[in-house]
């Protein structure tokens, strides 16, 4: 099984089949307080960006859904200044990438986008929401798996390794504040297409 198939399995169909609770887009608002905890207790600040990852469908209706998501985000862009763009990565996943210095605006925009997919009947196409943080030379991410209905941490280092020290700290501090994925088999790393990049880059 290759990397793409593994990611499809862990964030996709097998994750949905093995899910212990239903995904709830309202879970995304838990990140609003998590941003505060990450900075106050751990010294991690927002990277000023977040992203929603989904798999596309070759249909006119799905294309119209994506256009509607863009319309909603454009309205938010005028109101809050949250910039957005769509891109496809090397694995074929689609991303809605959002940039804003205000973490609250990022959370709200990710929620709006996810909620539109769900309202249009494409909730099953949502894979993950990713929120980024940094502290000195360390980077950390909280990933919400829509197929598992839970968060898990991701702490990449060079060479496609994870920083176990940071992972354990994130888990111990945020457990209870976020609904954490109990099975670490599903703590799947979402590596960037480029060295040193964010998962959505």
Q: What is the DSSP string of 152-193?
A: EEE-EETTTEE-HHHHHHHHHHHBTTB-B-S-GGG------S
Within-domain flag for 199: no
Within-domain flag for 191: no
| pLDDT, tens digit, 9 for 90 and up, residues 134-145 | 999 899 999 999
pLDDT surpassing 50 at residue 194: yes
Within-domain flag for 197: no
Residue 98: pLDDT band (50, 70, 90) is very high
Domain of residue 134 covers 3-186
Domain of 58, CATH number, reads: 3.30.70.1130
Within-domain flag for 38: yes
Within-domain flag for 12: yes
Could you give the CA distance from residue 18 to residue 164 in angstroms, rounded to a whole number? 25
pLDDT surpassing 70 at residue 63: yes
Within-domain flag for 69: yes
Provide φ and ψ at 6, rounded to 5°. Answer: -65, -45
- Residue 120's H or E segment, with its range, is none
End-to-end CA distance of the chain: 24
Within-domain flag for 25: yes
Residue 22: pLDDT band (50, 70, 90) is low
Give me the number of domains the chain comprises: 1
Within-domain flag for 56: yes
| pLDDT, tens digit, 9 for 90 and up, residues 148-169 | 999 999 999 877 899 999 999 9
């Amino acid at each position: 099984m290759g990397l793409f198939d593994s990611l499809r399995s862990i964030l996709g169909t097998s994750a949905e089949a093995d899910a212990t609770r239903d995904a709830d887009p309202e879970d995304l608002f838990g990140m609003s307080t998590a941003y505060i905890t990450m900075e106050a207790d751990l010294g991690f600040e927002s990277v000023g960006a977040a992203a929603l990852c989904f798999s596309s469908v070759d249909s006119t209706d799905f294309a119209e859904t994506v256009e509607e998501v863009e319309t909603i985000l454009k309205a938010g862009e005028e109101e809050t200044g949250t910039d957005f763009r769509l891109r496809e990565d090397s694995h074929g996943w689609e991303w809605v990438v959002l940039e804003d210095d205000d973490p609250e605006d990022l959370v709200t925009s990710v929620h709006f986008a996810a909620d539109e997919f769900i309202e249009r009947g494409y909730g099953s196409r949502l894979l993950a929401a990713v929120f980024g943080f940094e502290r000195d030379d360390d980077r950390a991410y909280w990933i919400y798996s829509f197929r598992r209905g839970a968060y898990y941490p991701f702490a990449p280092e060079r060479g496609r390794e994870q920083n176990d020290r940071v992972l354990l700290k994130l888990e111990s501090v945020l457990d209870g504040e976020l609904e954490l994925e109990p099975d670490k088999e599903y703590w799947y790393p979402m590596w960037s297409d480029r060295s040193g990049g964010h998962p959505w880059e």
